[in-house]
Amino acid sequence: MKLDSKKLLFLICLGSILEYYDFGIFIYLAPFIGKSLIPTSNAWLNLLLSYAIFAAGALFRPLGGVIFAHLGDTRGRKYTFVYTILLMALPTFLIACIPSASVIGAGATILLIALRILQSLALGGELPGSVIFGYEVSSPRRKAFNTSIVIMGTNIGLLVSSLVCMMLIKFHWNNGESWRVAFALGGILGLVSYGLRRALVETPTFLEYKNRLQQETVPVKLLFQHHKKALLQLIGIGFLFSSSIAVFTYYIPNYLSTFYHFPLEQLMKFNSYSLLIFMVGSLLAGSFDQWLGKKFFFFLFMGIGAASLLLFWNYGRLNINQIFFWHSLLLLAIGVLCGRFPVLVSSFFPVSVRYTGVAVVWNISIGIITGCTQMILTWLVQVTGIIWVPALYLCFFAVLALISLMTISPKQLVEYQE
């Protein structure tokens, strides 16, 4: 990378910080958002509908990913990368301005759904663009580390959202409408990020490819013609990555508060500390990527599944400090997976379809699963009465990840193409 590499990495990371900040505030504050914008007095139904609205937005991410990825693979990385953050920021800010359901009834819910969908269309192109920018502006030896820094931005976003929500929950005011502050802050951060990002230049890798290109291509067509195996392999691993993040960062505070009656404020505090451990895992993955190959992934996937079963089976026997200890260890392992995944998903695709490939993998395996997990698990626990059903959910994805891993050669996990 060039002399101003720190500034460049900062500009790249802004989008991932904002995206996961938005994820976090919606999930952590879902009970309060629902009470304000959804006209129903049933607490469980209100929470389920809040998660459903979050999930509805996630379902539009693949569409946004394909649209923006097509522009990114044909017009340029910067062209897309600059404007996705603006299109993320505006709906986030406008969510803070929606009148409550007590004022406009179901209209508040409709506006929330519409803005969430617009936000998700932009999200579909944002994080894939961040990962690709970090990958393509880095030297071969720095690709793993720099993309782990980019993905660490998601951890920072989660941490900031957790801290903001913790403060809003502790100092709840204005008849339960203080959640709006979190969305207003996110919108302002996005608008500032857009202004800063306009200074970015195109990646050298894409410029070289564009100069060699003889005729225009349709990246999504090329992707599904020649790279279906890579798509399935990465989606299988991404399912475990995203479901484990969703369960142990987004879902778990409300889960432990609801079923085991731990104080939500204290859970949010510990969740913030756990995210610092998560960041350490990401950085370790980027620093020691050549040591973390196929055998490591095999034991990692098995470990996440087994640890999930043990934890959910024993939450009733643990105090909050013991839970924090075991969560820290597990999140360190998930953080390592988090740090390894972006360099792999970028390296599995050539430059001609890289943005499209990363966008499809990210938005199917990560966008949808992360967006829908809270709704799915809330519904499953309610209809089955089995409160440890989240462990079965994670074990299912661990098995899929192991199957995908078996089809990948060891070299693919440690050798990165330009």
Radius of gyration of the chain (CA): 20
Per the model's pLDDT, the better-predicted residue between 204 and 230 turns out to be 230
- Percentage helix, strand, coil, to 5, in the chain? 85, 0, 15
Residue pointed to by tokens 């959804």: 38
Tens-place pLDDT, residues 92-126: 999 999 999 889 998 999 999 999 998 888 888 88
pLDDT at position 2 is 47
Tens-place pLDDT, residues 59-95: 888 888 888 888 888 888 887 877 888 888 899 999 9
Query: 330 pLDDT band (50/70/90 cuts)?
Result: very high
pLDDT at position 173 is 59
72 near 360, Cβ under 8 Å?
no
Query: 175 pLDDT band (50/70/90 cuts)?
Result: low
* Burial tier of 343 (Cβ tally within 10 Å: 0-12, 13-18, 19+): buried
- Separation between Cα atoms, residue 188 and residue 126, nearest integer Å: 17
pLDDT at position 235 is 95
Structure tokens of 20?
Answer: 């996961």
pLDDT(346) > 90: yes
pLDDT at position 4 is 60
354 near 132, Cβ under 8 Å?
yes
pLDDT at position 301 is 96
Work out the mean pLDDT of the chain and round it to a whole number. 87
pLDDT(1) > 70: no
pLDDT at position 107 is 92
- Cα angle 189, 142, 12 (rounded to 5 degrees) comes to 15
Tens-place pLDDT, residues 270-318: 877 877 888 899 889 989 999 999 999 999 999 999 999 999 999 989 9
Query: 5 pLDDT band (50/70/90 cuts)?
Result: low
Mapping DSSP to helix (H, G, I), strand (E, B) and coil, where does residue 175 land? coil
304 near 399, Cβ under 8 Å?
no
Structural domains of the chain ordered from first start: 5-413 (1.20.1250.20)
